[in-house]
Amino acid sequence: MTAVGYALSSEEHGASDLVRHARRAEEAGFSFAVISDHYHPWIDRQGQSPFVWGVLGAIAQATESLRVGTGVTCPTVRIHPAIVAQAAATAATLMPGRFFLGLGTGERLNEHILGTPWPEWDVRSDMLEEAVGVIRELWDGAVTSHHGRHYTVENARIYSLPDRLPPIYLAAGGPKAARLAARLGDGLIGTGPDASLIDGFAGAGGEGPRLGR
C-alpha cells in the first residue's frame, strides 16, 4: 500500500515554521513526514538549520497522528550513537508508535565541524553498522558497556524508554548502501524514486517500509 509523506526541510525553514508545516501536513492527510538533520544548510541562501531533536519535541505536541522520523541522522561523527539512542528514545516516548529513526552514513558538509577526519564510504558504513548495534543495545534498557572499533560506551543506561521501540530505517543512495539497509535496518529511505535501490534492498532480504525523500 502506497502512503504519501511530507518532507520537512530544516535547511529552508526555521523551527517554528517546521512545527506549523508538520501540523498542516497532518491536517492535509499526509500519513508521515521526514525531517532532515543538518548542522548547515546545503547552500547559504537557504539560511536555516535548527537542531532537529528540539523541533521533534515541538512537533510531538503539535500533532496527534502524523508519523515522523529523521531523514536522516548520521550517528557516527558529529553525534555519538549513545546520544542518538537517548534522543530517539525520548522522541519515541513523546510520539508513541509514530516516531521512526532514520540513519545514514552522512556527508562531510555537516559532519566535519568537530575537525574529525572524513573517512571513505567503506569505513563510514562500518562505523554505521557499529553505531546501530550500540543504539539497539542501549535500547534494551540495561547498563551497557561497549568497547568497539570506533566507539566506546562505559556503564551507560537509558532510563526513559518508550513502551514500543521505534523502527530504524537506513538511507541508501546506491546498491551497497541498500544491501546494508537490508541487513541492519527495519526499512529503507531512498534518496529518490530509484527502483534499483528497492530491488537491491528486497534482493538482500530487506523487509519493511521503503520511504522516498
Positions marked active-site: 38, 107
Contact present, 33 and 6 (Cβ < 8 Å): yes
Q: How far is CA 3 from the centre of its chain?
A: 19
Cell numbers for 212: 522516498
Number of H helices, E strands in the chain: 7, 9
Return the number of other C-beta atoms located less than 10 Å from residue 177's C-beta.
Answer: 24
Residue type, 6: Y
Distance (Å, whole) CA 38 – CA 101 = 15
What own/partner pairs with CB < 8 Å and gap ≥ 24 does 127-131 have? 127/76, 127/77, 127/151, 128/75, 128/76, 128/103, 128/104, 128/170, 128/180, 128/184, 129/180, 129/184, 130/81, 131/75, 131/76, 131/81, 131/84, 131/103
Distance (Å, whole) CA 211 – CA 213 = 7
